[in-house]
Amino acid sequence: MNPLRKLVGQTAVYGLSSILGRIMGYLLVPIYTNVLAQGVYGSVVELYSYIALLLILLTYGMETTFFRFAESTGKPKTIFGTAFSSLIISSFIFLLFIFGFKQDFAELIHYAHKPEYITYLALILFFDTINTIPFANLRLQERPKKFVVIKLTGIFVNIGLNLFFIYFLTWFTESYSDNNISQWINTWYNADNKVDYIFVSNVISSGLMVLMFIPEWFKIRLIFDFDIWKKMIAYAMPLLIFGMAGAVNEVIDRVLLKYLLPENIAMSQVGIYGAVYKISILMTIFIQAYRYAAEPFFFAQEKHKDAKIMYANMMKYFVMVTSLIFLGTMLYMDIIIHFIGKEFRSGAFVIPILLLANLFLGIYYNLSVWYKLTNKTRFGAYISIIGAIITISLNFYWIPIIGYEGSAWATFICYGSMMLISFLWGRKYYPIPYNLPRILFYIGLAVGFYLLSTLLQIESLAIRLSVHSILLLLFVGILLAMERVNLFPKKAS
């Protein structure tokens, strides 16, 4: 259990930055969804979808490749220098290219009147790309404190600037309109351009994290080994395809909604769907934190004789936690739904679909250990491509008929299919003794308790929440009872 406890500890530490960042970011959602109209917020959702897609392209699998080669070659400094230099050069070329054709790209995505959006997106992508390997290096060196300090600094600066630009300056200039300071602020601040300030805040915070990493750069001599780089690129290319297809699965629905729905409702639908997607915050926080700790852990445990048993236990406990998150979120939806504005709550009915979809995605991340450890990363690309085909096909079919509900079901079917395919292929190439009956039981029990809660038509909110709390405690009690031998082993007398 010691390696598992270590993984839990690292997940908690890495998760601190993710959890606080996501929670703080989540606290902006009520502001966005109460201050911005549905269509305007839809623009924010859409533009960040482009960032998610392009960030995968610009990092081209180098993060996972860095972990793999640093462990296998025993030359972490050389691997760092090679991977870091590669990303700096490619991202700088990208930045120059985007700046050179800024207006053309703005027209391509229907923002010809706002070419500055392209500038913001390009700078965010540039800074986040060159931060990728330094952050990965901190994880490899097991320096979570440094990782968290830099992450949290960027997060708090981003959140603080959002509040400053969107809320404080608007309030100050309206409340003290005759003040000289307000008049000066109004010479450069436009309260009607709140979307601009959302991206300006991100540019500043991402750039600040680059500056915080500069001392780390000087500690490591940047060595670029062209021969190793060629091998790294060969390993990374399937991961790039895998990553791009994965990003398509994650965000393409928000882009397609804009183009497949009537123009008069498209952006408002994007805004509603993007807002309710935020309700899955606890699930995505945990999965992200787990991934930060688990990926280097997979490679570090590979040579241990009980590695496969360890991976199987990781999966089981992961499913326990994510099932608990699903059930807890749904049982307290009466409270959680208030984190988004009233105009956006009409989309709440797709939340359980999205939560289960993300649970499937988390299981898939666990299953992916087989093709990463066997160097068969092309299978990861195959699976993601299959998922992308499912996502795009179902979105094209369902969006014109049932709008964002079709996007939610497409996400559910996509991630469920990827999970199943990876499980079946993994049994052939790298069989791991997963406790399948228990995993299915935990997921089924969580879904069953949720469905039971929907059948209990209780008018009083207080009584309803009390009953839901009893259901949640009962679920936790069943989990602990079934895992008591592993979680609470008896000490040898």
* Phi, psi (degrees; rounded to nearest 5) at 387: -60, -40
Q: Which value, in Å, is the radius of gyration of the alpha carbons in the chain?
A: 23
Return the residue matching tokens 């997607």: 277
DSSP assignment, residue 492?
P
Measured distance CA(65)–CA(71) in Å, rounded: 10
* Phi, psi (degrees; rounded to nearest 5) at 304: -75, 145
Torsion sign over Cα 91, 94, 98, 104: negative
Select from 452, 476, 467, 446 the least CA-distant residue to 332.
467
Select from 405, 415, 328, 408 the least CA-distant residue to 367.
415
Torsion sign over Cα 289, 374, 316, 466: positive
pLDDT tens track, the chain, 493 positions: 456 566 566 555 665 665 666 666 666 777 788 888 888 888 888 998 899 889 999 998 888 888 888 867 778 888 888 989 999 999 999 999 999 999 999 999 888 889 999 999 999 999 999 999 888 888 777 787 788 889 889 988 998 998 899 888 888 888 887 888 888 888 888 888 888 999 999 999 999 999 999 887 777 777 888 888 998 898 888 778 877 887 888 888 988 998 899 988 888 999 999 888 888 777 887 887 787 677 677 777 777 778 888 889 889 999 999 999 999 999 999 998 887 888 888 899 999 999 999 999 999 988 988 888 887 878 888 888 899 999 999 999 999 999 999 999 999 999 999 999 999 999 988 899 999 999 999 999 999 999 999 998 888 999 999 999 999 999 999 999 988 766 655 554 4
Beta-carbon contacts of residue 314 (< 8 Å; ≥ 6 apart): 4, 7, 294, 366
DSSP assignment, residue 432?
-
